[in-house]
Amino acid sequence: MRLILLSPPGAGKGTHCAWLTRETGVAHISSGDLLRAEIARGSGLGRRLAEYTGRGALVPDDVMFDLLVPVVVAAERDTGGYLLDGFPRTMPQALRAQEIGREQDLGADAVVYLSAPEPVLVARLLSRAADQGRTDDDPEVIRHRLTVFTEATAPLVDFYRDRGLLLEVDADRPVPEIRLDLRRRLAERGLLSE
């Protein structure tokens, strides 16, 4: 299964990806985790990336593709698919990803859009900040990340809907309920068993 998870920060991508990976065996690839790993290595590139992630700004597309494409290719080879979490996040990324997907026969089977009202997202991000201490979970950066989502990422919802790939799931519900819904929606497309 090749799946893209598209959702605003705080909608629960991480939680649902962990479950989906267990269910399907395909690799969970989080663009944010890849960036944080590079930053943790303390490389020159990592230091440059931290300037973007620390502000809640998107890192340049070229860097994102350089880091991500080899990981997606390896996931497809080793696990028969991928679960892409946090990518693509802009129209240029979506268009380029579609092109690479076509060229390398790596295109997504479906795109899950986890939606939730903004106050719910803010509350979740603030509580995660208290639990995990992520530096980009402070109130000002959270507001900026949500604005970036609305401006840069939200247009992808229509892009994938128009291509018949979008599965919109209401994420403002208890996790087990969301899971059931996700399973049902993916099963309808023959991507997961009921």
Judged by CB under 6 A, the stretch of 50-58, 101-109, 114-122, 166-174 that binds ligand AMP is 50-58
d(CA 139, CA 147): 13
Q: Please identify, using beta-carbon distances, which residue of 50 and 166 lies nearer to ligand AMP.
A: 50
The residue assigned the tokens 């990340």 is 145
**From the CA atom positions of the chain, what is the Rg in Å?**
16
Judged by CB under 6 A, the stretch of 74-82, 84-92, 113-121, 167-175 that binds ligand AMP is 84-92
Binding mask 94-133 for ligand AMP (x = CB under 6 A): ----------------------------------------
The single residue among 7, 12, 27, 53 that binds ligand AMP, judged by CB under 6 A, is 53
How many residues are listed for the chain in this entry? Answer: 194
d(CA 152, CA 168): 18
- Contact status: 32 vs ligand AMP (CB under 6 A): yes
For 21, the token pair is 């990976």
Nearest alpha carbon to residue 110 among 176, 15, 192, 19? 192
Contacting residues toward ligand AMP, per CB under 6 A: 9, 31-32, 35, 52-53, 56-59, 64, 86-89, 93, 136, 145
